[in-house]
Amino acid sequence: MPLTDKFGRPITDLRISITDRCNYKCVYCRTGNEGALYGDLPFEDYLRMARVLVGMGVTKIRLTGGEPLLRKGVVEFVRDLAQLRSPNNGHRGRDQGREGDPLDIALTTNGHLLADLAQPLKNAGLTRVTVSMDAVDPDRFARITRVANGYDHVLAGIRAARRAGLWPLKVNCVLMRGFNEDQIIPFGMFAREEGVTVRFIEFMPLEEGRTWSPNTVVTLDEILARMAEYRPLVEIPHARSETARRYRFDDGVGEIGIIAPVSHPFCGHCSRIRITSDGKIRTCLFSVWDHDLHAQMQRGASDEELEEFIRGVIQKKEERHHIGEPDFVPASRTMVHIGG
């Protein structure tokens, strides 16, 4: 039986947060406190959760946090995940691996520690990496991340990932009005020069500081208009399940993407569930509750009982988010404690 929610959406994409600590304090995410509120679990617990979910139809796993590279043992964990194989999940026609293929194992990082870890992670079986980077100017970068001298580390991390063959390499930039909307064109140039795909993300109300308002969001339309002042863009056809709209520059050099959950929501194609660093399942970034998978393990549940619990949870997956609507209720956790 494929893992499908009550709206018929196949669940194939798992994000595991392996810590809710972070060494950056990005203005759109953190308040500047030191981080861990919920703590983390031994890797063997995440591995069991992943194994059960892969057996149920998950084919993509993304490690996130907090900052996942802060966690000692992350390379060995990737090696263990790389032993898992794609299931026969019954979702034919999607861009999923065939039965028995290795999983797609990705990681989202701020890149600060990536320069030394890129090659070991690749050797361990990591397929792809996404680096978050919100300015291509060192001073602006420091103002957004509230960390001095981070820019050079992140740039070195991006280049090391490329050398290691962690490809395609995506660089995610959250745009927040008043901080970095003037970085749109510089990022277009960066995409072309560094050969990476830069993806702009609309700012969502998931920050600790509760500073979000509709005015702080730099929307897809605005990003496209600004980039067109630099060079014409041509839209690349994309799969319905892809969260990013993709564009290449008219001369074929460089690609950008825009992830627009606020102005162009894609909940109808959401194939994700998340496990927080303390072992709770979250069915939507904007959930107002979690489902305690780790507690089931602690009480001695068998794999079959975990599967039954997970199937029940998946049926509660929210139809869509309500950002910007009068009935919007903030999520019960902020992004750093969910795992983006």
As a whole number of angstroms, the distance between CA 267 and CA 241 comes to 10
Element at 249 (helix H, strand E): strand 244-249
Task: Give the interface segment with ligand SAM, choosing from 86-94, 97-105, 202-210, 219-227 (CB under 6 A).
Answer: 202-210
Task: Give the interface segment with ligand SAM, choosing from 154-162, 197-205, 227-235, 301-309 (CB under 6 A).
Answer: 197-205
As a whole number of angstroms, the distance between CA 227 and CA 221 comes to 10
- Determine, following the binding rule CB under 6 A, whether residue 158 of this chain makes contact with ligand SAM: no
- Determine, following the binding rule CB under 6 A, whether residue 70 of this chain makes contact with ligand SAM: no
- Determine, following the binding rule CB under 6 A, whether residue 126 of this chain makes contact with ligand SAM: no
Kindly state the smallest distance separating residue 220's Cβ from ligand SAM, in Å.
13
- Determine, following the binding rule CB under 6 A, whether residue 331 of this chain makes contact with ligand SAM: no
Residues of span 19-58 touching ligand SAM by CB under 6 A: 22, 28-29
- Determine, following the binding rule CB under 6 A, whether residue 110 of this chain makes contact with ligand SAM: yes
- Determine, following the binding rule CB under 6 A, whether residue 174 of this chain makes contact with ligand SAM: yes
Kindly state the smallest distance separating residue 62's Cβ from ligand SAM, in Å.
9
Kindly state the smallest distance separating residue 27's Cβ from ligand SAM, in Å.
10
Which residue from 207, 255, 278, 290 is in contact with ligand SAM, where contact means CB under 6 A? 207
As a whole number of angstroms, the distance between CA 302 and CA 340 comes to 29
Question: Strand 291-292 vs strand 104-109: parallel, antiparallel, or unpaired?
Answer: unpaired
- Determine, following the binding rule CB under 6 A, whether residue 336 of this chain makes contact with ligand SAM: yes
Which of 143, 165, 68 lies closest to 110 in space, CA to CA? 68
- Determine, following the binding rule CB under 6 A, whether residue 135 of this chain makes contact with ligand SAM: no
| Sheet with strand 255-259: strands edge to edge | 233-236, 244-249, 255-259, 197-202, 170-175, 128-132, 104-109, 60-64, 13-17, 272-275, 280-282, 291-292
**Structure-token pair, residue 224:** 């496209």
- Cβ-based nearer residue to ligand SAM, 27 or 103: 27
Residues of span 216-275 touching ligand SAM by CB under 6 A: none
CB-based contact 220:266 (threshold 8 Å)? no
Which residue from 4, 12, 64, 216 is in contact with ligand SAM, where contact means CB under 6 A? 64
- Cβ-based nearer residue to ligand SAM, 172 or 183: 172
As a whole number of angstroms, the distance between CA 183 and CA 245 comes to 19
Residue whose pair of structure tokens reads 């057996």 in the numeric block: 55
As a whole number of angstroms, the distance between CA 206 and CA 210 comes to 8
Q: Which residues bind ligand SAM (CB under 6 A)?
A: 22, 28-29, 64-65, 67, 108-110, 132, 172, 174, 201, 203-204, 206-207, 335-336, 340
